[in-house]
Amino acid sequence: MWIREWRQAGRRLSRRPGYALLSVTVMGVGLGLMMFVFSMVNSLILQPLPLPHAERLISVGMPTPNGIEGIDGDQYLQLRGKLRGVDRMGAYREAGISLDSGHGATYYRGARLTASMMRLLDAQPLLGRGFVPADDALGAPHALLLGETLWREHFGADPKIVGRSVRVDGEWATVVGVMPAAFGFPGSAQAWLPLRLQSGQHTYVAAVARMAPGVQLGQVRAELDAWAGRLQRTLPSGVHTMQLIVAPVSLSFVPRDMRRWVWLMFGAGVLVLLLACINVANLQLVQTLQRRHELSLRSALGGSRMRLLYGALAEGLLLGAAALALAFLIVHAGGRWIDATWVANHPESVLTLHGTDASVIAFGIVVALLSTMLSSGIPAWRATRADDLQDAMRDGSKGSGSGFARVSRVMVVVEVALTVVLLVGAGTFVRSLHALMAQPAVGASHAAQVLTADVALPPQAYKEDAQRIRFFEAVVQRLQQNPEVVAATASDVVPAAVLGSHEDVSLPGQPQPADGWPRAQMAIVDAHFLDTYGVHLREGRFLDARDRADSAPVVVIDAKMAAAYWPHRDALDQKLVLYPGKPWARTLTVVGVIQSLQMDSMLERPRPGLLVPLQQSATFSPLHDVGLAVRTHADASTFAPQLIDAVHSVDPQAAVYAVRSQADAMATARVGLVVLTGVFSALGLVALLLAAAGLYGVLAFSVAQRTREIGIRRAIGAGHGAILLDTGRQLFWQLGLGLGIGLLLSWPWSKLLADPGLHTRAHDPGVFVPVLATVIGISALATLVPMLRALRVDPAVALRYE
């Protein structure tokens, strides 16, 4: 009996292919976008790290406005073993690894891990062993772990690789194991060396701990605060410990701002799905209305309401199953797009985008069932009410019923309100992102003529920072001798692309604020930085040969820092404290002011910036991640071989990697903006299309219900204008109510999206006015077209029918 209902539902759909195709497309697109956004929530927030016991892993580090960052190696060594609420604590630092195959050094993405970090991650090697505590000891033989991909491609999957000596970073190391390809922590690392820390190094590392079973994050936080308090009491007056916090480890990889945008996308996805459900419900309402006489006859012949409901729901479930299949195709296409835009440009990212994994599939099935119940259940429930069936028996196939009219009016109001909310949200965000991407990047005026590259030096040959500085000075000097070169520089930042570090700063004698020291973007640069990137000097002088390691420490600041710290006086010759409250704090003299630089993510609020000379940087900070940049007279893309030759002429063991133009580096840095803009644009476009189709369908249905009434009124002498005015008045109050509700909901929604740092204005007229005009225009068109069609009905036909 029940199987027959499914067969009948299938036959009904096959007789109405247009209705079935439209319903599947509308529901499939809405469901597909919802599932795609959920896959991002799942990957970035719910399950960001595919690690064992991920829910118990926490990061220990310094707080930032947007999350948490690394910890000083000294503090890690002091803190290790002091927190009773954690059963294991480890550290790691991302580091490129140069592997010498006898034909020059090749760079691979890698990391340095403590042995405890390996055990914390429950990492099991494919061959050999992982790191053991003895590997962490200073002076111990160098151990190396290879990734499976590197082992297969570089060593031909040699089964006897364990125990073999290879030259890594200029030193001989013994391969102790091979890690499976699925490991790859952090990001797409392919090789690992032990992380060896010693007191006084001031090397920043990422510290990770695993909470003991049953321990809550608040307990560990209280332990950490108590430990910091005891340590502070042992320090001299004026010296402060670094402020440390604990947070879920995912916060290290997905900052608060990104989480906020992902959840906002999820909310927009829910609204798009609701729009799709309303549109499908409207389609099914029309179909159910056409079947009311049939349903009333079946009821009169003894058919139960449950049987009638089951038949309607069977039809909805068949449509829902087809829509779910379409949704999976959309999620797969979205995943491919994410791979091509984000993952391909950020191979170092530790995040794993799960795509259509078990969680997304389960979510899709549950949401598809709920959506089907919503879009099919409401019309079916309304149509099978006893009084509606009795009305249908009396009126035959003519009447639509007051209940259906009420449902139709409610759907108009809800559809208009949801459309306004969605379009305001999408418009606000996309407008701000386009403004961000369109704004000129300082220091990027000749981006296509600037070639950038990273350089990995063998640590054993460059134990001292002074040796590294001499290497980069020699390479820059060789590059500047090339007639194709306008300027060349060595620095750890590429404006608007490779980010500077965030460091504590203060004025001399300033007490530490309750919420911690203010932070600034810092870059280590040489004297040729301005000429290479085309940055303008506003006041004073830039760094030059006078700024040696043994001379007074100096700094060049940008206009934002000058305005923040010395708004009403000249910033030149003022003093600035770098790393205040730390034993290695330095007081710097301001010698110049440049235009403001963007040395941070485009999604971050720009911070004040400062530049310190390469020659002096080693006196207060270890020198890491310095790269090269060359500005040529023409397109820089053809200059890569000459840049590599210049590096190898100074040291053949230096590995050159990530060679690309500044324009390409900037494009990679803006991929996050492209992804966010693409998703919100897709949500807004789908919302607009669904709204246009849905409003037209709902309003056309409302007018169609009154077709006979309009014909009768014409037969008794009513004019077109009077009919249009009367019918339009009734429809436009629904539109006005929907617009009012939509505006009320959009007001806080717009404020939530507003962010002055991202050039986003709350309640932007440039968004609200076009949205209102669009919705009103669509609604007017959706009303006028069926109204004109109804006015063409022959009054005689309407009277004869009545």
**Best CA proximity match to 383, nearest among 322, 313, 323:** 313
Q: What percent of the chain has pLDDT over 70?
A: 80
**Mean pLDDT in residue range 232-261:** 74
φ, ψ dihedrals at 682, nearest 5°? -65, -45
**Coil, strand, or helix at residue 281?**
helix
Tell me the C-alpha distance between 272 and 418, whole Å: 8
Check whether 352 has a pLDDT greater than 60.
no
**Best CA proximity match to 733, nearest among 451, 471, 447, 416:** 416
Least confident of 231-240, 589-598, 776-785: 231-240
Q: What is the pLDDT of residue 601?
A: 61
* Same domain membership, residue 679 and residue 625: no
**Mean pLDDT in residue range 452-478:** 88
DSSP per-residue letters across 32-62:
HHHHHHHHHHIIIIIS-S--TTGGGEEEEEE
Q: What is the pLDDT of residue 757?
A: 54
* Band of pLDDT at residue 398, cut at 50, 70 and 90: very low
DSSP per-residue letters across 533-590:
HTPPEEEE----TT--TTSPPEEEEEHHHHHHH-TTS--TT-EEEESTTSTT-EEEEE
- Is 323 within a domain? yes
Mean pLDDT for all residues in the chain: 80
Tell me the C-alpha distance between 685 and 484, whole Å: 48
Q: What is the pLDDT of residue 701?
A: 66
Final residue before a domain boundary, out of 346, 369, 397: 397
Tell me the C-alpha distance between 584 and 693, whole Å: 65
Question: What type of residue sits at position 458?
Answer: P
Tell me the C-alpha distance between 706 and 405, whole Å: 10
**Best CA proximity match to 100, nearest among 38, 50, 165, 35:** 165
Tell me the C-alpha distance between 448 and 35, whole Å: 39
Tell me the C-alpha distance between 258 and 251, whole Å: 10
578: which residues sit within 8 A by CB, 6+ positions away?
Answer: 503, 504, 505, 522, 555, 585, 586, 587, 588, 610, 612, 620
Final residue before a domain boundary, out of 346, 372, 397: 397
* Same domain membership, residue 699 and residue 587: no
Check whether 564 has a pLDDT greater than 70.
yes
Task: Report the phi/psi class of residue 455: left, alpha or beta, with left for phi > 0 and alpha for psi in -120 to 50.
Answer: beta
Q: What is the pLDDT of residue 439?
A: 63
Check whether 105 has a pLDDT greater than 80.
no
* Same domain membership, residue 618 and residue 573: yes
**Mean pLDDT in residue range 228-241:** 68
Q: Other CB atoms closer than 10 Å to residue 462's CB: what's the count?
A: 20
* Same domain membership, residue 366 and residue 482: no
For the chain, percent helix, then strand, then coil, each to nearest 5?
A: 50, 20, 30
**Coil, strand, or helix at residue 395?**
helix
Tell me the C-alpha distance between 64 and 609, whole Å: 16
Check whether 389 has a pLDDT greater than 50.
no
Q: Which residue has the higher pLDDT, 603 or 668?
A: 668
Q: What is the pLDDT of residue 115?
A: 92
Tell me the C-alpha distance between 521 and 194, whole Å: 30
**Mean pLDDT in residue range 201-205:** 77
**Coil, strand, or helix at residue 439?**
coil
Q: What is the pLDDT of residue 397?
A: 46
User: How many domains is the chain built from?
Assistant: 4
Check whether 25 has a pLDDT greater than 60.
yes
**Coil, strand, or helix at residue 303?**
coil
**Mean pLDDT in residue range 208-225:** 89
Q: Other CB atoms closer than 10 Å to residue 638's CB: what's the count?
A: 11
Q: What letter does residue 370 receive in the DSSP assignment?
A: H
454: which residues sit within 8 A by CB, 6+ positions away?
Answer: 96, 107, 625, 627, 628, 656, 657, 658
Are 201 and 91 spatial neighbours (Cβ–Cβ below 8 Å)?
Answer: no
Tell me the C-alpha distance between 517 and 191, whole Å: 37
| Angle, alpha carbons 663-667-669 (nearest 5°) | 115
Q: Which residue has the higher pLDDT, 387 or 308?
A: 308
Tell me the C-alpha distance between 100 and 172, whole Å: 10
The structure tokens listed for 695 are 């409003």
* Same domain membership, residue 418 and residue 492: no
**Mean pLDDT in residue range 518-525:** 89
* Band of pLDDT at residue 441, cut at 50, 70 and 90: low
- Is 450 within a domain? no
**Mean pLDDT in residue range 99-127:** 83
Tell me the C-alpha distance between 332 and 334, whole Å: 5
**Mean pLDDT in residue range 401-408:** 60
Check whether 347 has a pLDDT greater than 60.
no
- Is 87 within a domain? yes
Check whether 753 has a pLDDT greater than 80.
no
**Mean pLDDT in residue range 323-350:** 76
Tell me the C-alpha distance between 45 and 640, whole Å: 39
Alpha helices in 42-144 (DSSP H): 73-79, 115-120, 133-136
* Same domain membership, residue 171 and residue 294: no
**Mean pLDDT in residue range 366-373:** 87
Q: What is the pLDDT of residue 429?
A: 75
**Coil, strand, or helix at residue 659?**
strand
User: Over the stretch 142-162, which tens digit does the pLDDT of each residue have?
Assistant: 999 999 989 998 888 999 999
User: Over the stretch 168-191, which tens digit does the pLDDT of each residue have?
Assistant: 887 889 999 999 988 878 877 889
β-pair partners for 248:
58
Q: What is the pLDDT of residue 786?
A: 72
**Coil, strand, or helix at residue 336?**
helix
Q: What is the pLDDT of residue 640?
A: 92
Q: Which residue has the higher pLDDT, 175 or 42?
A: 175
- Is 658 within a domain? no
Alpha helices in 80-208 (DSSP H): 115-120, 133-136, 148-155
Q: What is the pLDDT of residue 793?
A: 66
Check whether 443 has a pLDDT greater than 80.
no
* Same domain membership, residue 408 and residue 393: no
Are 703 and 727 spatial neighbours (Cβ–Cβ below 8 Å)?
Answer: yes
Strand (E) or helix (H) holding 211: strand 204-211
Tell me the C-alpha distance between 517 and 514, whole Å: 8
Are 368 and 323 spatial neighbours (Cβ–Cβ below 8 Å)?
Answer: yes
* Same domain membership, residue 414 and residue 391: no
Check whether 612 has a pLDDT greater than 50.
yes
**Mean pLDDT in residue range 288-306:** 57
158: which residues sit within 8 A by CB, 6+ positions away?
Answer: 151, 164
- Is 474 within a domain? yes
* Band of pLDDT at residue 557, cut at 50, 70 and 90: very high
Strand residue runs (E) in 400-542: 450-456, 485-491, 501-506, 519-525, 537-540
- Is 452 within a domain? no
* Band of pLDDT at residue 303, cut at 50, 70 and 90: low
Q: Which residue has the higher pLDDT, 151 or 428?
A: 151
Tell me the C-alpha distance between 288 and 700, whole Å: 16
User: Over the stretch 634-656, which tens digit does the pLDDT of each residue have?
Assistant: 888 889 999 999 999 999 888 88
Check whether 2 has a pLDDT greater than 90.
no
Check whether 305 has a pLDDT greater than 80.
no
* Same domain membership, residue 108 and residue 80: yes
* Same domain membership, residue 145 and residue 289: no
Q: What is the pLDDT of residue 392?
A: 46
**Mean pLDDT in residue range 277-297:** 69
Tell me the C-alpha distance between 743 and 286, whole Å: 29
Range of the domain at 316: 1-50+267-397
**Mean pLDDT in residue range 51-62:** 82
* Same domain membership, residue 235 and residue 281: no
* Band of pLDDT at residue 252, cut at 50, 70 and 90: confident
Q: Which residues of 679-707 are buried (b: 16+ CB within 10 A; e: fewer)?
A: bbbbbbebbbebbbbbbbbbbbbbbbbbb
Final residue before a domain boundary, out of 653, 678, 697: 653
**Mean pLDDT in residue range 425-441:** 72
**Mean pLDDT in residue range 482-494:** 92
- Is 261 within a domain? no
* Same domain membership, residue 16 and residue 113: no
Q: What is the pLDDT of residue 355?
A: 60
Q: What is the pLDDT of residue 506?
A: 92
Question: What type of residue sits at position 381?
Answer: W
Strand (E) or helix (H) holding 477: helix 465-480
Check whether 399 has a pLDDT greater than 50.
no
Q: What is the pLDDT of residue 241?
A: 63
- Greatest Cα pair distance in the chain: 106
* Band of pLDDT at residue 301, cut at 50, 70 and 90: low
User: Over the stretch 673-730, which tens digit does the pLDDT of each residue have?
Assistant: 777 778 888 888 888 888 777 777 766 666 666 667 777 777 777 777 777 777 677 7
Q: What is the pLDDT of residue 393?
A: 46
Tell me the C-alpha distance between 249 and 68, whole Å: 9
- Is 137 within a domain? yes
Q: What letter does residue 440 receive in the DSSP assignment?
A: P
Strand (E) or helix (H) holding 177: strand 171-179
Q: What is the pLDDT of residue 630?
A: 95
